[in-house]
Amino acid sequence: MRGLVSFSIVGSAICMFFLVALNFFLTPTLDWSIYPCIALLLWPLSMYFVYRQNLKQFAWFTSLVFLILLTVINLRETPDVLWVLYAAYPLVFWPVFTMLGKRAYTMTAAVIGAVVTSLYYALLNIAFSPDAPWVIAIIFAVGWWPLSLYHARKGSFFAYSVQASIWVSGFMIGMNWAFSPSVIWAIYPIFAVVWWPLSLYFFRAKHHMHSL
């Protein structure tokens, strides 16, 4: 394993030198080599942390590198739009939940994670684009985390299908109301998703009748 770490260091250094030289001689006015060099830098670093079996430090370091890189790109290329704020949350979320260890698999962590994620992107939505409530999609996505975890541990698959269908229906209604209130299209996906709990219900009823 130590030999692989050494190889990754030498290999990434050679590749970075080659890319920087190409950038300097062919397109000196465009600093594009920084982007592949960052990716190449992560190669030996990831090998090192895997060799040391310290994945928590790897998560923190990798997140920090990407956060700095995206911040630099944002401020250099599009300083008027702080899009790095949208990418910053998952980059911080990853090492934080890595630090939790087995506690990251608990229901408490799922609820807190879903609530904090929803609040963070809701604030961004209100601050930068209040006319388009796109945070509905974020809330819908992260809501599956505690919902699925709860019913998976309980083994309540029929109740899960009912609540999940209500969750999907609420999302469709919210999207319909927020973005195209003049066209009532939400009824079509709602009609489709209702078959999920209905199918489970009649399957269980049929199985119960045969067992009598």
CA–CA distance, 130 with 57 (Å, rounded to integer): 37
CA–CA distance, 166 with 192 (Å, rounded to integer): 12
Q: Is the same domain home to 162 and 197?
A: yes
CA–CA distance, 164 with 82 (Å, rounded to integer): 34
pLDDT at 50: 74
Q: In the chain, which residue ranges form alpha helices assigned H by DSSP?
A: 2-26, 34-52, 55-77, 84-100, 107-128, 135-154, 157-179, 187-211
pLDDT at 37: 86
pLDDT at 139: 96
pLDDT at 130: 92
Number of domains in the chain: 4
pLDDT at 209: 58
Domain annotation covers residue 172? yes
DSSP 8-state secondary structure symbol assigned to residue 64: H
Q: Is the same domain home to 201 and 184?
A: yes
Query: Which parts of the chain have pLDDT scores under 50?
Result: 212
CA–CA distance, 159 with 147 (Å, rounded to integer): 11
pLDDT digits (tens, 9 = 90+) for 166-211: 999 999 999 999 999 999 999 999 999 999 999 988 877 666 555 5
Q: Is the same domain home to 160 and 210?
A: yes
Q: Is the same domain home to 49 and 29?
A: yes
Domain annotation covers residue 101? no
| Residue 11, CA distances (Å) to 23, 61, 130 in order | 18, 21, 48
For tokens 């929803």, name the residue. 118
For tokens 């999940």, name the residue. 164
Q: Is the same domain home to 12 and 42?
A: yes
25 token code pair? 């001689």
pLDDT at 17: 92
Domain annotation covers residue 77? yes
Name the residue among 42, 54, 52, 55 with its Cα closest to residue 8: 42
Q: Is the same domain home to 131 and 83?
A: no
Q: Evaluate whether 147 touches 160 at the Cβ level (below 8 Å).
A: yes
CA–CA distance, 103 with 97 (Å, rounded to integer): 8
Domain of residue 7: give its range: 1-53
